[in-house]
Amino acid sequence: MHSAPMRTIHDDVEEVLLSADALADRVAQLGAQLSADYAGRDPVLVSVLKGSIVFLADLIRAMEIPLSVDLMEVSSYGSGTETSGQVRILKDLSASIEGREVIVVEDIIDTGLTLNYLLRYLWERNPASMRICCLLDKPARRLAEIEIDYTGFTIPDRFVIGYGLDYDERYRNLPYVGVLRPSVYSSPSEE
C-alpha cells in the first residue's frame, strides 16, 4: 500500500531568506556581543511570546554570563494582520525588573507599535537600563520610531515565517526564515 507523498511546511515556502546556518552564525555573534557588553551586570532578558521563543532559546545558549529570563505575552487589539498600537497584556512579568538591566528580546519589529507600547510599560517598572535585541528589523513598515540596540538582520518588506514566526500559528517550527507563498494567504483554502 502506498501512502500519499507527505506534505510538509516547506512546501509553502517561496524562498529561504535566512538559512539555519546564517541564523546560527548571527545569533552566536549577538550572544558574544551581549556577553561582553553585560559582563558582571546580571541582565534579565525579557522576551515576548510566542514568536521570540526560538530566537531566545538560541540566544541565551550563545551567552556565557549569568542572566535570567522572563516572558510576557501581548496581543494587539484590532483584527487581521495590521497592528493597531493598542496592546493588551496577556501574560505579565513574573518578577520585578526594578533596578535590573533589561534586554528586551524580540523576533521582529515591523510597525514598531507593539514594542513602542511595551517599552513604555516596562520603563514604568523602573529598570536600571533597557536595551532592545531584535532578530529581524523590517523598517519599511515602521510607524513608531524605535532605537534598536542589537539587530540580527534587516529584512525587506516580505511576509516572513519560520524560526518562531508564524502565519496563522503555523510555520514556527521551520528551522530557517522563509518567505510565505502568496497563494497560502491570498487564495481560498482548498479544504
Binding site for ligand PRP (CB under 6 A): 48-52, 76, 83, 106-115, 166
Mark whether 137 is an active-site residue.
Answer: no
What is the distance between the alpha carbons of residues 131 and 139, in angstroms, rounded to a whole number? 18
| Cell triple for 94 | 513574573
- 81 DSSP 8-state letter: T
What is the distance between the alpha carbons of residues 26 and 88, in angstroms, rounded to a whole number? 31
Q: Provide the CA 106 distance to its chain's centre, in angstroms.
A: 4
Closer by beta carbon to ligand PRP, 35 or else 151: 151
Closer by beta carbon to ligand PRP, 111 or else 133: 111
CB of residue 25 vs ligand PRP: minimum separation in angstroms? 22
- 140 DSSP 8-state letter: G
What is the distance between the alpha carbons of residues 10 and 117, in angstroms, rounded to a whole number? 34
What is the distance between the alpha carbons of residues 180 and 161, in angstroms, rounded to a whole number? 6
Are 165 and 149 in contact, with CB atoms under 8 Å apart?
no
- 162 DSSP 8-state letter: B
Closer by beta carbon to ligand PRP, 67 or else 113: 113
CB of residue 105 vs ligand PRP: minimum separation in angstroms? 10
Find the catalytic residue in 12, 58, 107, 110. Answer: 110
CB of residue 98 vs ligand PRP: minimum separation in angstroms? 24
Closer by beta carbon to ligand PRP, 58 or else 106: 106
**Other CB atoms closer than 10 Å to residue 161's CB: what's the count?**
25
**Catalytic positions, please?**
110
